[in-house]
Structure 1
Amino acid sequence: MAPALLRLALRAASTAYRCAVSIRNRRYDLARCEIHRPPVPVVSVGNLTVGGTGKTPMVEWLSRRLREQGARVAILSRGYGAEQGGLNDEALELELALADVPHLQNPDRAASAEIAVEELASQILVLDDAFQHRRLARDLDIVLLDASEPFGFGYLLPRGLLREPLAALARADVVVLSRADMIDAAARQAIRRRVESLAPRSLWCEVVHRPAGLTDSQGGAYPLSELQDKRVAAFCGIGNPAGFRHTLSALGCRLVGWREFPDHHDYDRHDVERLAHDLRQSGAELAVCTRKDLVKLRTGSLGGVPLRALAVELQFLEGEPRLLSALQPLVERARAVEPPWL
Structure 2
Amino acid sequence: MTIQDIQSGTDRGVPATIARAGLTIASWPYGLAIRHRNRSYDRGSRDVAQAGVPVICIGNLTTGGTGKTPIVCHLAKWLREKNIRVSIVSRGYRSNESGTNDEAMELADRLPDVPHVQNVDRVEAARIAVEELETEVILMDDGFQHRRLHRDLDIVVIDAMCPFGYGSLLPRGLLREPISGLARASAVIITRTDHADEASLQRIESTIATYANASVPVLRTQHAASHLLTYPDQITALETIANKRVVALSAIGNPKAFEDTLRACGATVTDQLRFPDHHDYARETVQKIQDFARSQGSTFDQFLCTHKDLVKLKCDRIGGKPLSSLQIDMQFVSDPTKLYELVSQCVQLSR
Aligned to 2:303: 287
Q: CA separation in 1, counterparts of 2:348 and 2:236?
A: 37
Aligned to 1:260: 274
Number of the residue aligned with 1:32: 45
Residue pairs, 1:72-83, within 5 angstroms: 72-83=85-96
Paired residue for 1:324? 340
- Provide the residue aligned with 1:209 in structure 2: 223
| Alignment partner of 1:239 out of 253, 258, 263 | 253
Report the Cα offset of residue 5 of structure 1.
Answer: 4.3
Match of residue 6 from structure 2: none
Would you say the 8 A contact 2:166–2:173 is kept in 1? yes
Residue 257 of structure 1 deviates from its aligned partner by: 2.3
Cα distance in 1 for residues equivalent to 2:99 and 2:272 = 29
Report 1:51-70 matches (<5 A). 51-70=64-83
Aligned amino acid, residue 147 of structure 1? A
1:227 partnered with 2:251:
no
3-state SS of 1:160 partner: coil
Within 1, Cα distance between the matches of 2:55 and 2:112?
A: 20
Q: Please tell me the residue identity of whatever aligns with 2:73.
A: E
Q: Which amino acid aligns with 1:151?
A: F
1:9: Cα distance to partner?
Answer: 2.1
Q: Work out which of the residue numbers 320, 331, 345 in structure 2 matches 1:315.
A: 331
What's the TM-score once normalised by structure 2's chain length? 0.92
**Number of residues of Structure 1 aligned to a counterpart in Structure 2:** 335
User: Which is further off, 4-13 or 138-147?
Assistant: 4-13
> What is the DSSP-based 3-state SS (H/G/I as helix, E as strand, rest coil) of the residue aligned with 2:339?
helix
The alignment partner of 1:117 has SS state of: helix
Cα distance, 1:278–1:5 mapped onto 2, change above 3 Å: closer
Q: 1:319 to 1:269 in 2, by over 3 A?
A: same
Contact 1:69 1:331 in 2 (8 A): no
Q: Distance between the aligned counterparts of 1:156 and 1:250, measured in 2?
A: 33
Is 1:270 matched up with 2:296? no
Deviation at 1:4, TM superposition (A): 5.2
* C-alpha distance in structure 1 between counterparts of 2:19 and 2:241, whole Å: 44
Deviation string, structure 1 residues 14-40 (Cα, Å, up to 9, x no partner): 111100001111111111111011111
**In structure 2, how many angstroms separate the alpha carbons of the residues matched to 1:320 and 1:252?**
29
Q: Distance in 1 between matches of 2:249 and 2:16?
A: 32
* Identity value in percent: 44
Greater CA drift, 15-24 or 322-331: 322-331
TM-score by length of 1: 0.95
The letter for the 1-side match of 2:259 is R
Cα distance in 1, alignment partners of residues 269 and 19 from structure 2: 37
C-alpha distance in structure 2 between counterparts of 1:2 and 1:146, whole Å:
29
- Residue aligned with 1:213, SS: strand
Q: How does 1:107-146 map to 2 (within 5 A)?
A: 107-146=120-159
Name the Cα RMSD after superposition: 1.4
Q: Offset at 1:160?
A: 0.8
Provide the residue aligned with 2:175 in structure 1.
162
DSSP 3-state at the match of 1:195: helix
Q: In 1, distance between residues paired with 2:31 and 2:229?
A: 43
Question: What is the letter of the counterpart of residue 300 of structure 1?
Answer: D
The letter for the 2-side match of 1:247 is T
Aligned-pair distance for 1:201?
3.2
Output the CA distance in 2 between the equivalents of 1:150 and 1:3: 22
Letter in 1 for 2:241: L
Change in 2 beyond 3 A, CA 1:110/1:332: same
- CA–CA distance in 1 between the matches of 2:347 and 2:238? 34
Q: 1:256 touches 1:282 (CA, 8 Å); kept in 2?
A: no
- Structure-1 separation of matches of 2:16 and 2:163: 25
What letter matches 1:32 in structure 2?
S
Q: Which moved more, 1:206-215 or 1:217-226?
A: 217-226
4+ aligned runs moved over 4 Å, structure 1: 1-5
Gaps of 5+ in 1: 337-342
Aligned to 1:297: 313
User: Are 1:204 and 1:319, in contact at CA under 8 Å, matched by a contact in 2?
Assistant: no
CA distance in 1, matches of 2:251, 2:98: 22
* Residue 8 (1) aligns with residue 24 (2): no
Deviation of residue 84 (structure 1)?
3.5
Contact 1:257 1:279 in 2 (8 A): no
Alignment check: 8 A CA contact 1:233 1:279 kept: no
Q: 2: CA distance between counterparts of 1:242 and 1:255? A: 11
Distance 1:307 1:139, change over 3 A: same
| Residue segments in structure 2 that go unaligned for 5+ positions in a row | 1-13
